[in-house]
Every structure is written in structure tokens, then in C-alpha cells.
Amino acid sequence: MSVKLDTPGTSAAAETGDDRPRQAALPRADLSDLGLSALAAGAGVWVLLHLAGWDAPFGFVVCWFAAFLAIYGVVTHSQHGLLVMKDRLATVAITAGTAAALLPLFLIVLFVLRKGFPVVVRGFPHFLTHDLKQFGPTDPSTRAGVAHSIIGNLEQVGIATAITVPIGILAATYLNEVGGRYASVVRTVAAAMTGLPTIIAGLLVYAALIFPVGVAGFRGFAGGLALSVVMLPTVVRASEEVLRIVHDSLREAALALGAPEWRMVTLVVLPTARAGLITAAILGVARAIGETAPVLLTVFGSKTWNPNPFHAAQANLTITIYELQRSPTAQNVAVAWGAALVLVVLVLILFTLARVLGARRPGTESRISRLRRQLFTNR
């Protein structure tokens, strides 16, 4: 008597009569089936809606997608079987959902680029090297500049980063490595702060630092404090998730060698999660760099250079955009679109930097560390 051992996925393949492994990419024949199914669904739905007298673009897209899934499912099932049909339909549905999620972001970036790019190009490099001191309501947009706003933005976000990143990493280390009776309270507060309206952070700093002294309290440092409140929950949550990725075997090995817990955390856990912690910090910066309400209540805004964040009001890109777009003149609105493009580019650079830094898994050795180790080993 022979016994047949089933491996994972064998029963499903036996039921469907198809034991072929899933392919990473669709063959050319399946791509043609995909395209022909989409064309057939579009033609059929258009004819039906035209005969019914309906003119609804969104309804057409929904009906087309449903008909496309049905036709493509029938074609795939007739050629490859039930298992491959399920796999193909799931792949199409996931891809369509991803495209639908990215479409609004793509349209926003494209619209800002179309509105702001001509302004930046016409005023380049003046637009990026001067302020708004010599720019009036009737002046052309080529006389405007947002360099003072860029400097203010970078200084305020830098202050917020210097305050938030150490506190956020320490809080995440406490939650993941130490624990205790207050861990659940800290985690709950961090989660609640994630959904906190950002204007509350501005009101908090305004009531504590600006209201008692009046107009003299408006300065870049106050804006940095408000942005740090906005950044803190993002840094804490992201850093905690990164520290969870560090394998417990590294902690056990360090403790088995006699290292105290604080040395294990500082010399093993944190260096292993260094790339992820940098990514968490950059995500926090990207979260705060585009905020308007907190800096509007604490920085106040300015049309001239003020590189000192500890004295007098300071400019900010979001405040500059807010003030210019309220103007009735077309020149001011055009400059606001140019400043919006600069802000979008800064945010995209930060997210790209976070993606690049996060590409290396925690615990892997960087090129610089590998080269340093090879040099010392050769010696």
C-alpha cells in the first residue's frame, strides 16, 4: 500500500487539475488576453449605456471594470483552470486598487507642476534666491522670491527634528525594550496624538509662549516647538515598529555574553535598526514640513529675510502660500503656485530619501562599514 504525502498547495492543485507554480510576470499570450478582454468589456458597456441613453463617466468606469473582470475570468478559466483564474483576477484587482490610490496623488502633483513650473522657470534663479520685499501686488511674478520662506521652513523643521527625534526614539525604546506599567499609557497617548488636529499644537504653543508677551513672542523657535508636537507621534510609532524588527537572537546573544541591558540596547539594538530609525525621522519631517495651522499661530510670517529663528517673526512656505493665494491679483496667486511647487518638491525629496534609506534592511552592513572592516582586516 502506497501513501501519498500532500505538500502545501497540492490539494488545491489536485482539485483544479493545475499544479503549475505561479509566474512572477504574465506571458505575452496572457497580456494579449488581458488587453482584448479590456477592449471587449469597454465596447460592450459603451454600447449598452449608449442604447440606454445614460451619460455617466464614473458609472461607465465601474461597469467596464466589472465586465472586464467577468470576461477575463472566463477566458483565463477556459485556458488555464480555476487556480490560475483566481490568481489572475486577484492580481488585476490589487493592481487596480493601487492605481486608484495613487491616481489622486499623481493628479495633485501634475496640477501643481502645471501651475507652478512656469512661474519658477520665468523667475529662475531669482525666485529661489530673493524674498518678497520688492514684490508688490501689481509687479510681475519674476520679481518675487521665496528664498526667505525656504530658509524659515528648513530652520523651523530643523528645530522640530532636533527636539522630536531623540525624544521619539527614547520613547520607542522604552515601549519596545523596557516596558512597564506606563508603557500602555505612553502607547495610547502616542496613538491619540496621531489623530490630534494640528491646530491644537499651534494653540498650545501660542498660549504658553506667545500670548503672555504679545507680538514679540512670534518667532521661528515657537514654530519649531509646534511642529515638534506634530512630528512626535509619527516618530514614536515608526521607531517602535522598526525596533520590533530587530531579531530577539541578537538581544539574547548580547545578554548571554554578560552585557547589561542598557549596553545591549545602545550597542546592538539601536545600531541594527539605524537605517529604519533614520527613515522614521525623515517620515516625521515630511509629516510636519507642509503644516500651515501650527506655524500660522506661532511664526506669524514675514516678507523679508530673518535667518534668526529666536528673534522676531519668520517666514514659512506654507504661510507664504496661504497669504499669497488670498490676494485678488493674478500675480500673487501665480507666485503662490510657484511656492507650492517648491514645497511639493521638498516633500518628494524627503520621501525619496526615506525610501532610499529604508531600502537596506535593519542589521545589514552598509558599504562604508564593509569597506572599513575590509581595510582593518587586511592590515
Residue bearing cell 507554480: 21
Query: Minimal CA–CA distance to 316: which of 202, 167, 162, 235?
Result: 202
**Residue 28 has what pLDDT?**
67
Averaged confidence pLDDT in the chain:
84
Q: How far is CA 281 from the centre of its chain?
A: 12
pLDDT greater than 90 at residue 236? yes
pLDDT greater than 50 at residue 13? no
pLDDT digits (tens, 9 = 90+) for 293-311: 999 999 998 888 888 999 8
Q: 120 and 294 in contact (C-beta within 8 Å)? A: no
**Residue 120 has what pLDDT?**
92
CA dist., res. 345 & res. 155, Å (int): 17
Most confident of 14-28, 29-43, 155-169, 176-190: 155-169
**Residue 49 has what pLDDT?**
84
**Residue 228 has what pLDDT?**
94
Residue 300 φ then ψ, to 5°: 80, -35
Identity (one letter) of the amino acid at 27?
A: P
**Residue 7 has what pLDDT?**
41
Residue 258 CB coordination number (10 Å): 7
CA dist., res. 152 & res. 347, Å (int): 15
Residue partners of 270: CB distance under 8 A and separation at least 6: 169, 173, 277
Query: Domain 141-362, CATH 3.40.50.360 — does that match?
Result: no
Mean per-residue pLDDT for 334-349? 90
Query: Minimal CA–CA distance to 88: which of 35, 21, 26, 29?
Result: 26
CA dist., res. 348 & res. 354, Å (int): 10
Mean per-residue pLDDT for 334-339? 93
Peptide bond into 21 cis (omega under 30): no
pLDDT digits (tens, 9 = 90+) for 166-207: 999 999 999 998 888 888 898 988 888 888 889 999 999 999
CA dist., res. 295 & res. 96, Å (int): 38
Residue bearing cell 451619460: 55
Q: 220 and 299 in contact (C-beta within 8 Å)? A: yes
Residue partners of 335: CB distance under 8 A and separation at least 6: 119, 132, 135, 141, 144, 146, 324
- DSSP string for residues in 326-346: TSSSHHHHHHHHHHHHHHHHH
The band of 11, judged by pLDDT with boundaries at 50, 70 and 90, is very low
pLDDT digits (tens, 9 = 90+) for 249-280: 989 998 998 888 889 999 999 988 888 898 89
CA dist., res. 94 & res. 96, Å (int): 5
Q: How far is CA 25 from the centre of its chain?
A: 28
List the domain boundaries for the chain.
28-118, 141-362
pLDDT digits (tens, 9 = 90+) for 66-113: 999 999 999 999 988 899 889 889 989 999 999 999 999 899 999 999
Mean per-residue pLDDT for 239-243? 92
Q: 34 and 72 in contact (C-beta within 8 Å)? A: yes
pLDDT digits (tens, 9 = 90+) for 49-61: 888 888 778 888 8
Percent share of the chain, pLDDT over 70: 86
Percent share of the chain, pLDDT over 90: 41
pTM for the complete prediction?
0.76
**Residue 314 has what pLDDT?**
92
pLDDT digits (tens, 9 = 90+) for 122-152: 988 889 998 888 888 788 888 889 999 999 9
CA-based end-to-end distance of the chain: 65
